[in-house]
Structure 1
Amino acid sequence: MSLRHLIAEGDLLEGELVPAHLEVGDDGIIRRIHRLEAGSTARRAAIVRAREVSAGAGMHLVRPRMVVLPGGVDTHVSFCEPGHVQREGFSSGTMAAALGGVTSVLEMPHSSTPVTVRAEDLQHKRSAAAEQAYVDIGFWAALVPPSVQSRGRVSGQDRPSCAEPEELWESGAFGFVCTLLPLDHSTDALRSAGTPQLLPLTPAELREAMMRIARFDGLLAVHAEDSRTIAAAAGATGANLSSRLAWAQAAARYSAWAASRPAEAEVIAVEGLIDAVRETGCRTHILQVSTAGALELIAAAKAEGLPLSAETCTHYLSFAAESVPVGSPEFVCWPPLRDVGHREALWQGLQEGILDAVVSAHSPTTRQEKLRGAADLRLARPGISGLQVGFAALASEARSRGIGLAEVSRWTSGGPAELCRLHQKGDIAPGRYADLLIYDPEETHVVSAAGLAHKTPLSAYEGMEIHGTVVGSVLRGMQLFTAQDSSATLGQHGQLLSGPGTGVPLGPGPHQVGSGPRRRHLRVVSA
């Protein structure tokens, strides 16, 4: 149903929950907001109905204990289509997003086949998603080494050469994703994980790419781990285990497996990346921060005025390595979960503004891929599926720490929207889209993976008791689902999002360190 009026006792406006009446235009944009007195919402609804005969069909009066927040913006999800729809697809993935209160997603470039390295790849993904999306969706592009581009080979198949970053930016990509793990360490691991196409850049290749991206004020997102540190840790672990039995027993313990990808690898990589940002002025985003040691470096870089941002993930804030049951491959991810000290440091980093966003890093697998090594965690395909439960899990954890919904919403909506310049998303205000999340902070539920919309019923969140439940979502004024009408069918109202470079002329020079972002407007292309 299309909304024209939404009235609630708790709307998140300018950082506080207040009674309000939202008026929504036919284009799904919030036209006016009327602040109300506490307890007056039912009377307000009756007045609007009496004044406007047609309001009944477009009226939603939210139950008193429920609150209305900006719809989630998840800038880090993998849907694996085309190529690996047995893991996830646009339909099941965006449905999970809608049910979790996420109304906009940006999809990663490396989980599908082919990887998104050409404008044609980007258009192929857009075409595949257009008729299936329950929420708005945009796409990242991948950066691969020039040697791969010149050979025109990605995923071991002969293909036309990769596109220049300028072409992908103008074609609608929101930014570029790369990894720093070099070929001598990561290729075999990535191939076993089903993602051989995300090949890493050398330091020289990285700096060259950053210089080019800085010229048009693009955005680079980096998976930052240092391979030499990881290789040394893996070798030390093997040397310390005197027998095959001891190795097998250690491989089933999460903390032992996580030690093979130590926190120091992330710190060293982040330190080198910040040096590259300082040299090039490229707007850079650090993916999946999992360790306390990276926070001090990121904070110092921001204080210096470098164009740097960083995210962490709901699973790093919800779990600790020492608490993972033995032989639980559903918790395997890169970087791995850290101990409780790192987890609490991440929470502190969010509150201090060092970290800019919390994302799901939704990376689905089939049961066979995740469980193929049984208790040997080294053989499990990395990735945690958590898109549908991410907001509720995060809000529940935040509540236990005395952190309010305004901060949680900033991490899951406002921050990610600002990062990717989705200027009409991420806030409840006139001129913004009526992308909304309706949340019952008192309804407790227990996660059942079999009940999630994700294609594979396997999740690290299985059995988690969560205090607070997403009970509705609204996309550009269209109610996707609501607890007040359980018979309604979830509608595929998602649209394709184009990045800020679409149709925008390239600037003459690089982004200046410390300068403010150039304001550009979201472009929405109808699916």
Structure 2
Amino acid sequence: MPPGDASSIGGAEASVVFDLVFAGDRVLVDGAFAPAQVAVLDGRIARIAEPGVALRAAHRVRLADDEVLIPGLVDTHVHVNEPGRTDWEGFASATRAAAAGGVTTIVDMPLNSIPPTTSVAALAVKRARATGHVFVDVGFWGGIVPGNLGDLLPLGDEGVFGFKCFLIDSGVAEFPPVTPDEMERAMTALSRGADPAGSEAGADLDQLVIVHAEDAAAIDAAPHPHSRAYADFLASRPDAAEGAAIAAVIAAARRTGARAHILHLSSSASLEAVARARADGVRLTVETCPHYLALTAEEVPDGATAFKCCPPIRGAVNRDALWRALEEGVIDTIVSDHSPAPPAVKFAGDGDFAVAWGGIASLQLGLAVVWTEARRRGIRLERVVEWMSAAPARLVGLDGAGKGAIAPGADADLAVLAPDDAFTVDAAALHHRHPITPYAGRELVGVVRATYLAGREVDGTVARGRLLRRTRPDGGPR
């Protein structure tokens, strides 16, 4: 039963015994919370019914008065780091953390693992390592690096969800950056579905190119002192670096017609350029992350390298502008950019921001972090779920595969959330491999009390997650 189909299960619906039925006063359906029953059969949502309708079920879940039912979140920006750097994270720990935070689908980044996902052979290695060890559904990005243009269409045929490149040093030698010209050549191949030899292989791809948009020349021109002062680190990653790189992405997407996506936007200075490009018909989307929406440069203590990420957390005025851009639709999605590292790497340099690894582990906390700040601003939970579930599912084409909504035919990927329940972040209690987070000791609201994947509760002991492949735009198999 495809997503969106009405679910009348023949004329004998009264005799159907559903596997599971959820019932609650606040169920998120069609963008609004309302009383409803959600019936699950064979891992999918088979029916949504009003309260009081008689539904036979093997099991029932009645939401408590303080609970809501939402679709599982879709996080399209996660660094799992396995194989090669499994001591940094790994599929089992990352997906346990995801489930604990209400995330039921992740898409794994192509770098920080060894080998990086820049060839079909490397993708096969990664999938082999993930098989049997994922507690939520997992898809994969491919990578664009110098010299692998011929690998892109084969990777697309193997079902990656798009291709990532860096316009600046990635921080790991095995995933080098590309020049703007190399990025544009990749966009040309992926948007037109033609390989460098001009064949029509993969002509249905229209693949997404996702870009770490910081300009190398602008970064090189900035000061890079060894310092424990966050202000010095912030000056080393100026707004102008994001602005120049985003301009290059827009120009390349305009010329090629490619679908382009700006990763982890931190600087509000580029929002006007993004809005203008989209008004001109450039196929451009943008994401931001919980840390840019909840944290500010002014609050980062000296030497607190748990806050270091690239691009950096900026000031409070900038943070407010990002929220406005979300509400206005200029920014499309909120994703974690979960980028963990062991203490020896994250705290290298004894508080020297120039030495420590840049990355924030927040996969388990993203929903609570964003909801806490959104609620403070008077933004409804429905919009938060749109930004963190439905919108990322659409971005990678998983809405058509049953992700990101509570609807007949959709996967029964669901989270039971107590949106008013408060808790204090205890880093040691997180499922991430290492107890490191800039949110330690912070009070948040929004407790995920249960997460369901394909209608079965994720208990952290039985790994039932599936490895996902991108289908063709027409829905056919590869």
Conservation of the 8 A alpha-carbon contact between 2:120 and 2:151: no
1:34 maps to 2:49: yes
Conservation of the 8 A alpha-carbon contact between 1:7 and 1:22: yes
Which residue matches 1:493?
Answer: 464
1:276 maps to 2:277: no
**Deviations 1:150-180 (CA, angstroms, capped at 9, x unpaired):** xxxxxxxxxxxx8521100001111100011
Which residue matches 1:387?
Answer: 363
CA distance in 1, matches of 2:119, 2:232: 40
Alpha-carbon RMSD: 1.6
Listed as ranges, the gaps of 5+ residues in structure 1 are: 37-42, 150-161, 238-246, 482-488, 502-517
Which residue matches 2:198?
Answer: none
Which residue matches 1:407?
Answer: 383
CA distance in 1, matches of 2:464, 2:130: 12
Q: 1:377 to 1:3 in 2, by over 3 A?
A: farther
CA distance in 1, matches of 2:316, 2:27: 34
Which residue matches 2:215?
Answer: 226
How far residue 35 of structure 1 moved from its aligned partner, in angstroms, is 2.7
Q: 1:3 to 1:403 in 2, by over 3 A?
A: farther
Aligned residue type for 1:233: A
Which residue matches 2:131?
Answer: 130
How far residue 500 of structure 1 moved from its aligned partner, in angstroms, is 2.4
Moved over 3 A (4+): none
**Deviations 1:364-398 (CA, angstroms, capped at 9, x unpaired):** 10000011111211100110000000011111110
Aligned residue type for 2:217: R
Q: After alignment, is 72-81 or 490-499 more displaced?
A: 490-499
1:88 maps to 2:65: no
Which residue matches 1:241?
Answer: none
Q: 1:476 to 1:521 in 2, by over 3 A?
A: farther
Conservation of the 8 A alpha-carbon contact between 2:306 and 2:437: yes
Which residue matches 1:203?
Answer: 180
1:454 maps to 2:432: yes
How far residue 93 of structure 1 moved from its aligned partner, in angstroms, is 0.4
Conservation of the 8 A alpha-carbon contact between 1:3 and 1:478: no
How far residue 305 of structure 1 moved from its aligned partner, in angstroms, is 1.6
Is the partner of 1:19 in helix, strand or coil?
Answer: strand
User: Paired residue for 2:39, among 19, 23, 31?
Assistant: 23
TM-score for the superposition, normalised by structure 2: 0.91
CA distance in 2, matches of 1:337, 1:180: 19
Aligned residue type for 1:358: I
TM-score for the superposition, normalised by structure 1: 0.82
CA distance in 2, matches of 1:197, 1:352: 38
How far residue 203 of structure 1 moved from its aligned partner, in angstroms, is 2.0
Trace 1:44-59 onto structure 2 (pairs within 5 A): 48=55, 52=56, 55=57, 57-59=58-60
Is the partner of 1:76 in helix, strand or coil?
Answer: strand
Q: After alignment, is 292-301 or 99-108 more displaced?
A: 292-301
CA distance in 1, matches of 2:464, 2:320: 38
Conservation of the 8 A alpha-carbon contact between 2:97 and 2:432: yes
Conservation of the 8 A alpha-carbon contact between 1:101 and 1:391: yes
CA distance in 2, matches of 1:4, 1:454: 30
**Deviations 1:3-34 (CA, angstroms, capped at 9, x unpaired):** 521111110111111010011111x1111111
Is the partner of 1:496 in helix, strand or coil?
Answer: coil
Which residue matches 1:167?
Answer: 154
Aligned residue type for 1:116: T
Q: 1:130 to 1:315 in 2, by over 3 A?
A: same
Q: Could you tell me the percent identity over the aligned residues?
A: 40
Is the partner of 2:321 in helix, strand or coil?
Answer: helix
**Deviations 1:457-479 (CA, angstroms, capped at 9, x unpaired):** 11111111002211111111111
Give the helix-richer structure, 1 or 2: 1
Aligned residue type for 2:462: G
CA distance in 2, matches of 1:106, 1:344: 28
CA distance in 2, matches of 1:3, 1:229: 57
